[in-house]
Chains A and B, each alone.
Chain A
Amino acid sequence: MSYDALIIGAGHNGLVAACYLARAGMKVCVVEKNDWIGGAAVSRELFPGFTYSNCSYVSSLFRPEIMRDLELPRHGLQILPYEGGAVLTRNGGYLAMFRDHDANRREFARHSPRDAEAYDRYSRDILRFCRFIRPMLMRTPPDPSRFRPRDLSELAFLGRQIGALSEGQIAAMVRFWTMSIADFLDEYFENPVIKAYLAVSAIIGTALGPMSPGSAYVLLHHYMGDVDGNVGAWGFARGGMGAITQALSKSLAAAGGEIRAGQGVDQVLVEGGRAVGVVLANGDEIRARRVISNMDVKRTFLGHVAEKDLPGDFVKRVRAFKTRGSSGKLNIALDAAPVFPALPEGSPMLKGDLHFTDSMERMERAYDDWKDGQFSRDPFQDAMIPTMIDPTMTPPGKHFMSCFVQYAPPKIAGRDWTDADRDAFRDTCLNQIEAYAPGFKNKVLHVEVRTPRELEAEVGLTEGNIFQGELTFDQLLFNRPVPGYADYRSPIRDLWICGSSTHPGGGVMGAPGRNAAAEILRDAKLGTRGMRDAYPVL
């Protein structure tokens, strides 16, 4: 039995690639080490009657082009936009967030009339940056060190994009890409709470603080998605994040593809310099015309390929690829909705993300702890209760709460996490929430704590890095994952990579899987007719 394409890992990118290849007529098989599929986009019942989105927890980046190409709504995917959100402040106040720009503006005005004015300017500028970067998400980055026709035409495309901007716009954009989010926001806003709210997207998942240069780009990375055409909007997948990968698996089945769960790969089979299949952990061999890895670049090449089959320089670069984990997570089953006395009753604020960090300085100090090899004593949490909008995940009246935590290091002071560390981490996070929602802890039925250790062990993310590699310029575009190999290929013929380690990087976006499939189809001379180009930002 031999396949046209064998994909290692049933995460969202592996499944996206599989779907496109199967729809183009390839015979496709996806193998997954876990007994369930989804990678980091999963819904799992980890407490009786409660569905957890126990890894990724929000959908915004997932490309609508892919949703349409693969007919995911028809296969059951529904995205529900946030309806609100809030930053709770230490002095008992709050900053509310709404879906509507004008409502936000009025809320900003309550904190600072000047910042409300600036908000229009800020939103316009960010939208312009998004408009510029969007088309690049769905393209293979050019290799500027080579002069192949495709590299030159992609460079020319980039040149045209830049050429369409005014001198002032180019200057503004280059500044934005290289600045820290703290400096950037300081140019618009004066209110610390507003700045803390807006800085959030710049630190989520990254080993950077808001004062690190380059963090403004990370904000854009989180902002360039949309829900129903609302750029920057975030939403929940109905039924949890697993709904995305479930819809993908149905789409794959409809196209004739196959998924084998509970079948971990031991080694990629290489014969005569070509990948010809895989050896499973149980010793079975599956042969295929090409192998596509959805694992991160370190796990793929350092863990599942013999070093002798790879050039030394490549191995060195892969070893140096930065995958420092910086995030943890608490998944909480609640007996009843938490009550935050600061928030007006019945407000939509609980139907979105809640933050307890009211200044960028507190975020930066949380990052300093991480640099010292500790989890943050005063962590930043992005907490949300999807069951406020989506009643399908818990029994009536009960709730699921997802708390994403910055920062948690892959190791504690150079040694592995212990269970005691993990408990201390949990308590730190729960106590922070308790301070804003008295009685919260009494409503907790169950907590699943995820440190980088658990993320690595279960999902396979090296060092627990949720983006399969940091999003700094040395690891973006043509540098991602390794200079010269940003075209989803590897030094081994017929071994491809399609995970978030590749351009354009992490988040439940699907673009890496889609772009890898496009390269594979071009390579196989099958054409990419079934793929839409990026939608423009309106």
Chain B
Amino acid sequence: MPIPSSEIIVIGAGVNGLACAARLAGQGHRVTLVEAASAPGGAMALAHLTPGIDPRVAKDMDLARHGLTFHPELAATLLSQNSPHLTVRGGEASGGDLDPTEVAAFRNLHKRLSRFAAALAPFRAMTPPRLAAKGNEWGKLARLGLGLRAMGKADFREFLRMILINAHDAATDELTDDRLRGLIAFDATLGGWLGPRSPNSLILYLNRLAMGGALVPKGGMAAVAGAMAQAAQAKGVTLRLNARVARLLVEADQASGVELDSGEKLHADLVVSAIGPKATFRDLVGPRHLDTGFYTAAGHIRARGATARLALSLTAPPDFRGADPAGRLIIAPSSEAVERAWNPVKYAGVPDRPVMEITLPHAHDGGPPRLTALVQFAPHDPADKAAAKARMLENTLTVLEDHAPGLSATIGETEFLMPWEIEARYGLAGGNWHNGDLAVEQMLFLRPMAGAARYDTPLPRLWLAGSGSHPGGWVTGAAGWNAAGGILEALR
């Protein structure tokens, strides 16, 4: 028997909103995707790389047919100011002065962590289990536990030891090369609000390994948004741009639609919010329709961005002392250097020597020389924002110049976004990439918060589908896809 079709509004045409809307429409529901901006994509524009769109999403939306293709996976080049650069491709590190035993140690560590990541991957694809539910949720958890145990006794023990360890210790215990340690420290903390010495940081590295490598879409991030929007529309999604939602409509204690900025009211059987959970509960719903304790807890969702984004147009291609321009260029000379860049941000200060990940878009798609960089760590709420921004930019450019002598003289246009500007432009709470810190205490059944971790919310007919929900952000669409699964199950 066919499922009766429902009228569904999805708020926010970012990667998760698009994935969610497309999956729902694909099952015969009438889906309207409302987006405040004039183009789809949301915070995708902030990224310069993607670990790859979740294979479930890519397949169902047939994104390849809609023109989405990627350049070959990028190797990481670990830039050095005075010694040879190292190149890391998967678990293989190479470079002039690297000791063979260190190469083997890195390979072994990468293999082991990849096995852990593979064991965690199924968690990413699931709706977080309920903990105290009747029924078979505990059985499901036990099965997952046994699945982990299947990796063998030695690995399982190491897994339990390392699951909440910090990235610095994990890297330092196994490796001696500062640059390789720096890579793990950097990759573990990119997009987060923690340093490599913070406990619970290695799991973020495992999460990245579980997602995949570093890919540049042909045509840039805008091409991802374009392909996904086209695919969603092909499935019947109605996309409404320039439509900012002012508030949620609630009738009889149930979500019943949205009211746009323009005053226009859209009614629906279900509303799915693919924007941040904090904004959803605190701004769109408001305290009237939520339990006080829940409303307060929603205010406690921690969302602190610590990543700035730099985009430069250049008059000449930069030369990072011979580094492959098509690589993912990392400036993180050691794990300690990453930690030192983190320290001042705890007090809303600016690091002297920021660490960063650089891509050179012209090396992939041609066109005039450009540089993008994700720079860490940047304060999200300093007292003097203008001064903090100026200092952060200055320090960033100094580090760049040190690694690519002469670069400063070739800078044309500069766009530099601090976390609060990222928040203003993309609506990401606190400028945090994941619309809520991706940290262990906000993961799985605690993401974005207890009581709303299974994509449904205490307000009937309101659902969540954004990166604030499990399994968090990055340009993959996993959260939106999972959410649609939960919604479809509920409608069945």
* CB-CB contacts below 8 Å: B112-132 with A: 130-132
Do B199 and A214 touch across chains, with their CB atoms under 8 A apart?
A: yes
Chain B positions 145 through 158: 1 when the CB is less than 8 Å from some CB of chain A, otherwise 0: 00001000110111
Do B160 and A483 touch across chains, with their CB atoms under 8 A apart?
A: yes
* CB-CB contacts below 8 Å: A146-187 with B: 146, 163, 165-168, 170-172, 174-175, 178-179, 183, 187
Do B446 and A175 touch across chains, with their CB atoms under 8 A apart?
A: yes
Do B162 and A167 touch across chains, with their CB atoms under 8 A apart?
A: no
Do A322 and B199 touch across chains, with their CB atoms under 8 A apart?
A: no
Do A212 and B199 touch across chains, with their CB atoms under 8 A apart?
A: yes
Closest to B300 in A: A187
Do B162 and A174 touch across chains, with their CB atoms under 8 A apart?
A: no
* CB-CB contacts below 8 Å: B131-188 with A: 131-133, 149, 153-154, 156-158, 160-166, 169, 173
For A165, list chain B residues within 8 Å (CB).
132
Do B441 and A213 touch across chains, with their CB atoms under 8 A apart?
A: yes
Q: Which of B169, B347, B441 contacts A178 (CB 8 A)?
A: B441
For B158, list chain A residues within 8 Å (CB).
483
Do B199 and A208 touch across chains, with their CB atoms under 8 A apart?
A: yes
Do A474 and B343 touch across chains, with their CB atoms under 8 A apart?
A: no
Q: Is there a chain B Cβ closer than 8 Å to A371's Cβ?
A: yes
Do B160 and A145 touch across chains, with their CB atoms under 8 A apart?
A: yes
Do B346 and A364 touch across chains, with their CB atoms under 8 A apart?
A: yes
Q: Is there a chain B Cβ closer than 8 Å to A262's Cβ?
A: no
Do A483 and B131 touch across chains, with their CB atoms under 8 A apart?
A: no
Do B162 and A474 touch across chains, with their CB atoms under 8 A apart?
A: yes
Q: Is there a chain B Cβ closer than 8 Å to A472's Cβ?
A: yes
Q: Which of A167, A364, A365 contacts B133 (CB 8 A)?
A: A167
Q: How far is the CB of B113 from chain A (nearest CB, A)?
A: 14
Closest to B450 in A: A171
Closest to B347 in A: A361
Closest to A175 in B: B441
Do B197 and A479 touch across chains, with their CB atoms under 8 A apart?
A: no
Q: Which of A168, A213, A478 contacts B198 (CB 8 A)?
A: A213
Q: Is there a chain A Cβ closer than 8 Å to B435's Cβ?
A: no
For B166, list chain A residues within 8 Å (CB).
472
Are A479 and B160 also in contact (CB < 8 A) when A165-B132, A179-B441 are? yes
Chain B positions 421 through 447: 1 when the CB is less than 8 Å from some CB of chain A, otherwise 0: 000000000000000000111000110
For B439, list chain A residues within 8 Å (CB).
178, 213
For A93, list chain B residues within 8 Å (CB).
none
For A144, list chain B residues within 8 Å (CB).
149, 156, 160
Do A174 and B441 touch across chains, with their CB atoms under 8 A apart?
A: yes
Do B199 and A168 touch across chains, with their CB atoms under 8 A apart?
A: no
Are A178 and B131 also in contact (CB < 8 A) when A172-B450, A213-B441 are? no
Give complex CA distance A209, B229 in Å. 46
Interface range on chain A (Cβ under 8 Å from partner): 35 or more
Q: Is there a chain B Cβ closer than 8 Å to A211's Cβ?
A: yes
Q: Is there a chain B Cβ closer than 8 Å to A1's Cβ?
A: no
Do B173 and A320 touch across chains, with their CB atoms under 8 A apart?
A: yes
Do B132 and A174 touch across chains, with their CB atoms under 8 A apart?
A: no
Q: Is there a chain A Cβ closer than 8 Å to B339's Cβ?
A: yes
Give complex CA distance A183, B300 in Å. 9
Do A365 and B347 touch across chains, with their CB atoms under 8 A apart?
A: yes
Do B194 and A474 touch across chains, with their CB atoms under 8 A apart?
A: no
For B194, list chain A residues within 8 Å (CB).
213
Closest to A480 in B: B161
Q: Is there a chain A Cβ closer than 8 Å to B200's Cβ?
A: yes
For A535, list chain B residues within 8 Å (CB).
none
For B200, list chain A residues within 8 Å (CB).
178, 213-214
For A371, list chain B residues within 8 Å (CB).
197, 339, 343
Q: How far is the CB of A30 from chain B (nearest CB, A)?
A: 32
Do B199 and A171 touch across chains, with their CB atoms under 8 A apart?
A: no
Do A145 and B149 touch across chains, with their CB atoms under 8 A apart?
A: yes
Q: Is there a chain B Cβ closer than 8 Å to A266's Cβ?
A: no
Do B169 and A171 touch across chains, with their CB atoms under 8 A apart?
A: no
Q: Is there a chain A Cβ closer than 8 Å to B26's Cβ?
A: no
Q: Is there a chain A Cβ closer than 8 Å to B451's Cβ?
A: yes
Do B440 and A178 touch across chains, with their CB atoms under 8 A apart?
A: yes
For B169, list chain A residues within 8 Å (CB).
322, 474
Chain A positions 181 through 222: 1 when the CB is less than 8 Å from some CB of chain B, otherwise 0: 001000100000000000000000000100111100000000
Q: Is there a chain B Cβ closer than 8 Å to A391's Cβ?
A: no
Closest to A167 in B: B132
Q: How far is the CB of B380 from chain A (nearest CB, A)?
A: 14
Give complex CA distance A211, B343 in Å. 11
Do B450 and A168 touch across chains, with their CB atoms under 8 A apart?
A: yes
Give complex CA distance A163, B141 in Å. 13
For B451, list chain A residues within 8 Å (CB).
168, 171
Give complex CA distance A170, B446 in Å. 10
Closest to B162 in A: A474
Do A174 and B164 touch across chains, with their CB atoms under 8 A apart?
A: no
Closest to A143 in B: B157
Give complex CA distance A361, B302 in Å. 18
Q: How far is the CB of A323 from chain B (nearest CB, A)?
A: 12
* CB-CB contacts below 8 Å: A24-72 with B: none
Do B199 and A145 touch across chains, with their CB atoms under 8 A apart?
A: no
Are A174 and B343 also in contact (CB < 8 A) when A213-B198, A473-B164 are? no
Give complex CA distance A208, B169 in Å. 13
For B347, list chain A residues within 8 Å (CB).
361, 364-365
Chain A positions 472 through 497: 1 when the CB is less than 8 Å from some CB of chain B, otherwise 0: 11100011000110000000000000
Do A145 and B153 touch across chains, with their CB atoms under 8 A apart?
A: yes
Q: How far is the CB of B391 from chain A (nearest CB, A)?
A: 19
Closest to A165 in B: B132
Give complex CA distance A307, B238 in Å. 70
Closest to B200 in A: A213
For B163, list chain A residues within 8 Å (CB).
473
Do A214 and B132 touch across chains, with their CB atoms under 8 A apart?
A: no
Q: Is there a chain B Cβ closer than 8 Å to A368's Cβ?
A: yes
Give complex CA distance A436, B451 in Å. 47
Closest to A208 in B: B199
Q: How far is the CB of B146 from chain A (nearest CB, A)?
A: 11
Give complex CA distance A179, B165 in Å. 13
Are A214 and B164 also in contact (CB < 8 A) when A165-B132, A371-B339 are? yes
Q: How far is the CB of A188 from chain B (nearest CB, A)?
A: 10
For B162, list chain A residues within 8 Å (CB).
474
Do B197 and A474 touch across chains, with their CB atoms under 8 A apart?
A: no
Give complex CA distance A458, B455 in Å. 57
Give complex CA distance A172, B201 in Å. 20
Closest to A320 in B: B173
Closest to A216 in B: B441
Closest to A324 in B: B169
Give complex CA distance A371, B344 in Å. 13
Are A479 and B161 also in contact (CB < 8 A) when A167-B133, A214-B200 are? yes
For A175, list chain B residues within 8 Å (CB).
441, 446, 450
Do A183 and B160 touch across chains, with their CB atoms under 8 A apart?
A: no
Do B198 and A212 touch across chains, with their CB atoms under 8 A apart?
A: yes
Q: How far is the CB of B98 from chain A (nearest CB, A)?
A: 22
Q: How far is the CB of A410 from chain B (nearest CB, A)?
A: 15
For A365, list chain B residues within 8 Å (CB).
347
Closest to B440 in A: A178
* CB-CB contacts below 8 Å: B335-369 with A: 339, 343, 346-347
Q: How far is the CB of A473 from chain B (nearest CB, A)?
A: 4
Give complex CA distance A159, B446 in Å. 19
Please, could you name 14 A-B residue pairs with CB atoms under 8 Å apart, sorted by A? A145-B160, A146-B153, A167-B133, A168-B451, A170-B131, A170-B132, A171-B450, A172-B450, A178-B439, A212-B199, A361-B347, A473-B165, A479-B161, A483-B157
**Closest 10 CB pairs between A and B?**
A171-B450, A167-B132, A214-B199, A483-B157, A473-B164, A474-B165, A178-B440, A175-B441, A178-B441, A213-B200
Which of B's residues lie within 8 Å of A, judged by CB?
Answer: 130-133, 149, 153-154, 156-158, 160-166, 169, 173, 194, 197-201, 300, 302, 339, 343, 346-347, 439-441, 445-446, 450-451
- Contacts A178-B200, A478-B160 aside, 20 further interface pairs with beta carbons under 8 A come to A145-B156, A146-B153, A163-B132, A167-B131, A167-B450, A170-B132, A171-B446, A175-B446, A178-B439, A179-B441, A187-B300, A208-B199, A212-B197, A214-B164, A322-B169, A364-B347, A474-B165, A474-B169, A483-B160, A483-B161
